[in-house]
Amino acid sequence: MILYAGAVTFPHQPVQDMLSRFTDRFGREPLYQTSVTIALVLGAALTLLFVRALRGQTGRQQLAALWALSFALMVGVWRLLMANNTELVHFPQYFPEGIALLALTLSPVESMAWVTLFGWLDEGYQYVYLTHGRATLLDFNDIHMDQIGGAAGIIFAMALLRSEPRTRESWLEFWKGILRRPGVLAILGVLAVGIALLMSGKLLVYEAPGAPPHWFALSRLKTESFWYFQPIVLGPHYFHELMPPEGILLILVTIALCAVLDRRWRVLAKPAIDR
């Protein structure tokens, strides 16, 4: 899991350089068309595999609805949060992580918590080292794209493993169990440290000109309108750039929604179809 996360994080700049050489020679349109074609082919192939895996499940209709919802979320994110079609790579990049993490944890919410942490580290590496000094921000858009790709992987793994309706328990006991999970505790720990640094002045939400000395700023860019457009650098789409407060809130809401899957389903470490 750690090797895979490193393999898709650290080569970011060489891949960007390779794509830049491609666009310099052929233009951006072929790259955008190729990206969406690959995404559609992968989506169709994975859907066929998903439908086959559903044969052994008792809750086939509910899992199929969740799979369809994951694609609807991808379309929504593509329309609202993506600058260009090359960013579709976030979905297949984090899809295997969602599968592997559910197999390791057997918990959708904990799997999503770890997906979020991996996405945070991925974008943090780019923000601190690759875009150092530029007018940009910690890319919460990309972190949420990573979450959606990971969520699709989690749902896919729920079809591969045995997923059974869970006996309902009280909300109090349910949340006690959720809050004891290591991945969720790690997210809460990051938030606690962030709040402490913010209150101490070591962390800034926005690094304005003349800002006091600090360790880290979540943003070096503040957009003036809801829709952001930068055709020369980012691409053809008008998209919404998530500012740190709304980005953090959206990320936490996505994790919380995965807790609903934990309350509804129990995932067992055995195949959906007994051989």
DSSP-based three-state secondary structure for 203: strand
pLDDT band for 16, please (50, 70, 90 cuts): confident
* CA dihedral of 124, 126, 130, 132, whole degrees rounded to 10: -40
State residue 77's pLDDT score. 95
C-alpha count within 13 angstroms, C-beta hemisphere, residue 250: 19
Q: Is the pLDDT of residue 115 over 90?
A: yes
Q: Give 22-25's long-range contacts (Cβ < 8 A, gap of 24+).
A: none
Which pair of structure tokens corresponds to residue 35?
């990206």
State residue 248's pLDDT score. 95
The mean pLDDT value for 14-40 works out to: 86
What gap in Å lies between CA 239 and CA 139, rounded to an integer? 13
State residue 233's pLDDT score. 64
The mean pLDDT value for 58-78 works out to: 93
Can you give the residue range of the structural domain that contains 28? 2-271
State residue 78's pLDDT score. 93
| Closest-CA residue to 111 (of 240, 1, 271) | 1
What gap in Å lies between CA 29 and CA 129, rounded to an integer? 29
Name the least confident of 95-99, 157-161, 245-249, 262-266.
262-266
pLDDT band for 273, please (50, 70, 90 cuts): low
| Closest-CA residue to 217 (of 237, 201, 239) | 201
State residue 211's pLDDT score. 81
Q: Is the pLDDT of residue 275 over 60?
A: no
The mean pLDDT value for 89-117 works out to: 95
Domains of the chain: total:
1
The mean pLDDT value for 60-65 works out to: 91
* pLDDT (tens digit per residue) in 197-228: 999 999 999 988 788 888 898 998 888 788 88
pLDDT band for 232, please (50, 70, 90 cuts): low
Q: Is the pLDDT of residue 169 over 80?
A: no
